[in-house]
Every structure is written in structure tokens, then in C-alpha cells.
Chains A and B, each alone.
Chain A
Amino acid sequence: MARTVLCACEDVTLEEVRRAFAEGHRDLESVKRYTGFGTGPCQGKSCLAAVAGELLRLGATPAEIAPFTARPPLQPTPLALLATADPGALPLDPGVPPPAAGPRPRPQGGPLPERARVVIVGGGIMGLGLAYQLCRRGERDVLVLEAGYLNAGASGRNGGGVRAQWSTPTMIRLARRSLALCRSFAADMGVNVWFRPGGYLFLAPTAEQVARLERNAALHRAHGLATRVIDPEEAARIVPELDRRRFLAASWNPDDGVVFPWPFLWGYASRAAALGARIRTFTRVTGFEREGRRLTAVRTDAGRVTCEVVVNAAGAWSKEVAALAGVPLPNRPTRHEILVTEPLKPWLGPLVSVLGNGLYFSQSQRGELVGGMGDPDEPEGVVSGSTLRFLSRFARAALECVPRLAGVKVVRQWAGCYDVTPDNNPVLGAAGFDNFLQLSGFVGHGFMMAPAVTEAMAAWMTGGEEDEIFRRFTLARFERGETAREDFIIG
């Protein structure tokens, strides 16, 4: 078969690039995500020019084909080599800010309408999931405004972990609903999300953490989960490569799993659009107009839209967006770094997470190890630069856990932001204005919460059932001091 292969690492052909363009993925970042080009071991070195050339021929502008952010390391590098750097000698730094804004890609999706009943700020999984769920319930005059491409925010940068192992009944309930929606997402939405229930394995290195896992497991069982606390021998039957000297016990739920995040956004976006929602990418919200206790219009860099309801679903930027309306949120956006390795044949079933040091990793559908690790010293700030410190911290922690990974090579690192709140629970409901609804503060687990939370929010917004979360997780709880901390956070 004489194919024209533009990306030899990932086997992406000219025909596939053209199809992606025809389906509306018109800038290089979007085409990269949709086709997978440039994400293989060569890092886009040999295919970038070929794909950019084709997009130019198809009508893209130079701003739309600007190279994607360079993702170190430049060559596949064994974890064992990265582990030789001492993280203590690598002080934390925000990394390199993105280059000063050059020409921006054109707004996509059509001209900005003059009015829309519901304007959703942010086209991440929250914003798009909500748009779809509103449309399904008959509220179709919905406009989603996204500053970048779809998947530009945390929704396009996360680990894809979906679990029901939480420490409060509310979170367990929401997560179970999300897991059910993940299982049928491909069938319901017509796009593969590669949901793979390989389980979640939490490793507890100390007796205190074992006790915590046991408390949680009891709660889980009371809520119908299959969670069990198992000994290192049994954990090693699930992942034989684990170094069992490193933990005392593990908590295991075989029904948790991992997904491939990006297609969720494409699925929600295309189904919402088919039902009438309008989605405008490369359109940034720059301010609001108000009258008394209501927001009356949304200003953007592409024009102004009058509206009846505004939803702030801007993820880690929610605080910034709320500030545009003069509403202070207590959210603290915090960088979280992550990496992937070369693709390997299947060897790892579950997502493994180590309590205490924030390490987690799983194997993606494509075979890569996807892993991250929080840094306790990370300051607040919306930054997405990468650090060498993270590479060495991750490598050291991962090799302690699975020594067999020593020769596995890292091919790409990047960062996104957690949207952290004082009690690790979200901020929902109206804030500051009667028609300014919040949908933020999902820390490091918003992806798995989104299917369930957006469904509940659409029901609540369209006069259906009011889930307790819209009473409990209001902004006002922080003033009233009615907070209950969720502590089962990874990273």
C-alpha cells in the first residue's frame, strides 16, 4: 500500500491529516492531538515541517501552524539516567513563560453571535460536558468560549485516571456515576475514549496510611465498591514488577481505570454542536458587563455577547475570570507536572499511586507509561513551564517503586495546573451575581468528576433535581466555615 506517511513514528498519513482538517482541527496543536503526529519518539523533529506544509496548503495561517511547545527531553532518555540528577540541586522554578504573544490563530467555529442565553467560559471538559448536557435537556442556546484550542487546559494535560476510591460518600457517588458514563461514553457519543478498567492500586508505605486505607475501604464497601486492602504479595500478583519492600499494604479496586482524555472533549463538543450549541475556540473572555446583581454581557477579544447566564468553567483560570467580574475566589491554581515514556507492549494493568510522595503512573492505551508527581514546594500560580527537577524527582520515585523501569525512556514532559481550593472540594453555584455560576476548583480530579458533575449541573440549571453538591459546595461555605476537607488527593 503506497501511503504518504507524514509522521513515521506514529504512522500518520497525509490522508489522515487532511481528514482531521476537514473535521475542523485546523491548527497544528489540534491536529497533533487528533492525529497523534509528533507525539512519538522523534518528538516531531522530522514531521513538523511536513504537517505544517500540508496545513498551509489547506489554508491555515502561519499563527495556526506555529510549532507546538517543545517538550523535553529532546531524545528518549532512560529514567535511570534522569534519576542521577539530584533534585536538591535543582531549585523549583516556574519554568519558561510562553513566548510573547505573536499573531494569534483566528477564532474558529464561526462569527461570534450577538446574544446567547447561556455563555460558558472555558472549553475544557467541564464547559463542554455542561454544554452537551444542557443541550440534551433542551437548553440549546448555549455558547462556549474557549481562549485556545480544545484540550489547551488541564483537560488536555491530565493523567486520565478515573477512580471511585474516595474518602467521602459524595465523592464516591459522583465518581461511580462518572465511571458508568465513561464505560458507555464511546457507544453514547460515537468516539473512542479507550476506557480501560485496569483498577487503581494505592500503595501505603506507613502504618498510618494503611489505617487510612482500611477506613476508606470500609466506607467503599458500604457504598457498593469492590475495594479491598491487600498485602504486598497480592499486590505483586497484580503488578509483579513492584518492589514489595516499599509498602506495607495496598488498596485495590479493580473497577477503577484510565481513559484517553482528549476524545472526551471532541465527543462532547461535536454532540453539543450537533444539538445546537455554538463553540468558539481561540476566543478569550476579557470582561463582563453588569447591571445590579446580574451580568448582562460577556466581552471577548472577538466581540461582545449579551447573555442571561454565565458559567465560569475556566479551570485553573477561574479565579482570573471571576476577578474580571470583581468576584474573589479562594482557588489557588498550582502547577502539576507529568511525563510519558516510550510506548511498550502491555505490562501494567492498574494505575499505581504511592501515598505520601504523590507519585502515580499508569500505562496508556498506546503503551506509554503516563506518570506525575506533585511537588510540595510548588507555589501558587498559573504556570505551565517544565522543570528538570520534576524529571529527576519522578525518575527516583518511580524506580524505587518499580526498579524494572530503569531502562524505560522518557519522551515528553509537560505541565498543567491543578485548581486547588482550601478544602479540596469544588466551587459550585452562583457567586457574586445571581446569574454567574461557578464550576471550578476540581484540584487534580476534575476530569473524572466532569461527566457526573456536568450532568447534575445541567439538571439543576434547567429546573430539574438539585443535587446536594449545589448546596454544599457554594462559595459562601468558606465564609461560614462549613468546610469538610477531601484528603484523598493524588499528587
Chain B
Amino acid sequence: MGSNRLTGIVKLALVVGSLQLGSIGLAQADTTILNVSYDPTRELYKEFNAAFAEKWQADTGETVTIQTSHGGSGKQARSVIDGLEADVVTLALEADIDAIAAATSKIPPDWKTRFENNSSPYTSTIVFLVRKGNPKGVKDWGDLVREDIQVITPNPKTSGGARWNFLAAWAWARAANGGDDAKAQEYVAQLFKHVPVLDTGARGATTTFVQRGLGDVLLAWENEAYLSLEELGPDNFEIVTPSISIKAEPPVALVDGNVDSKGTRKVAEAYLNYLYSDVGQKIAAKHYYRPFKPELADPQDTARFADVKLVTIDEFGGWKEAQPKFFADGGMFDQIYKPGQ
């Protein structure tokens, strides 16, 4: 027993010692930055981070480690507000970054103007994922309120992607009814009567549709839909692109408050700028995001995107107006979900 404990202590001392040495080694050569992102960007940033680390090493001789945290976009924003030391945020919604800017002084209010294309290096849109052969013959948004159709979408209250879904449906209905917002609201209310399950996030909704076999149509990010197709085999599902959809612009921002205190501004800035480079644009297109500069990406990647009329968030007055109007407590979503209406 006694000798056992002694070797235990020796081992512990060794472990502590090696940790100490390790951290000294790290402090000299390595910079670490943290990218706080949302759920469906896992694969994209895995590849991009490796590419950037290589590029940074080649340019400056310094080693950089990029940590990435993924989760629901709103939850991620809340973590940053509550003190998670993100160097950059790459979230699903402008409104989430606005929330960080409003709640802390770590991001300036004009963050959107600091990078090209409203700080969105890549965009996406909302499409329908249906079962192979499209058995219910779903073509466009109008089909989704048919008697025999069940729609899977996450909860707009908890999921950034679901807010894009909601607005895309709204945009179609408004256009179909000559710009009538009341008719659009009626349509969206109808649509949500066909939703049997509200998952809390986009990945959860995909699981419900794919694994549990629930529903006829999944409203999904275009990149998630293609990814599901790739992962699960094109034998089971296909993608239907509606006539009108929304241009989903997931933005990126530098968290000034954190990079200044950590001394990582230069590398964090370079990291975000690299998203706009040919390498960044190529990787984005490869992972089914629509690149901001399609001419830089591989033509066979960009050729995969179907032509669709895309409305932008500006038609809803931007996120600063849309967020409280549609998704805040008592907003449009709450109104259409009141019982007995």
C-alpha cells in the first residue's frame, strides 16, 4: 500500500512536470485562436482551419492552432456574451452577432461593414429535402400546406436555421399573394400546423427526418441538404429547390474585446480575410456553401447549385427589424402559434 502510494505520487509529479514543460513549449511557438461557430459548419471549418494554419506557417513561420466550437447559433452567441473567449465568431445569423455587440462592448456595432459582402464570405439558402422519387410530388412552398404533407423544421425560437426557414416561407407567400403580409402570415400559420415535431436545432431536425422517418419534407440549409445526401446516399433522398427562397447570409466577425486582450488580432483578422481568398472560397463551395466570389471556386462545385430567385433579409428590413418583429416574445411566430387560431 505504502509503496503503491509512493509510486502514485511520483507518477503524479512526473505528469505535472511534463505538463509544465509542455505549456512552456506551447507558449513560445504556438498561438491559439478560437472560432465560435454554429452547427452545420463543422466539416467546412475542419478543412479551412488546416488550410489556414498551413498558410500562416508559410507566411510568418509561426504555428497557429485554431479551436472551433460548434452548437446552436443562439447558444453560441450566449456563450460569448457570458464570457467564452472567442477570437472570431462565425454564426448563422446577423442577429446573433448583433446580440453580442449589444450585450457586451466586445464587438463594435458597425461590425458588418468590416468585411466584404456584409461580412458574409459565403451564403446559403433554404431548400426542401424529400424522400427518394419525391412520392408526394412536392414542387414548391404551396405544396407544403396540402392535407397529406408533414413538414419537419426546427423551432425558430431556438434555431437560427429555422428562422431562415420561416422567412423563406414568408417571402414566398408574400410574393405569391402580391405582397400581402396578412396572407403570408396565414400561410405560415398553416405551414406550422403541418409540423409534427419542433426540434431545437438543425441537426436534430435532420435526424428526425432521416433516422426517425418522420415527415415528407425537411426544410434545410442547402449545404445541410447536400451533406445529408452525401452522407446517407442519394438513394434515399433528393433535393427540391423551390421557386423562391431566401439568401441566408451567415456572417463572420472579429471579437475585438477578446483579440485585443489576448494579443491575437493580427492572426484572427488574417483568418477571416482568408475566407475571402481563393482557398477559402473553394473550400466553402466544396462544402456546398455558395461562395461570395464564385469565380474563385471550382466550376464543378458551383455548377451544383440550382438557380433560384433569392430574396434577402433586407426585404424584411434587415435583422435589426426582423428579429424582434418575427421571433421575439409575442412576435409573429408566437402569434401564429397561439392555440385556437
B and A form one assembly = no
- Residues in chain B within 8 A of chain A (CB atoms): none
- Residues in chain A within 8 A of chain B (CB atoms): none
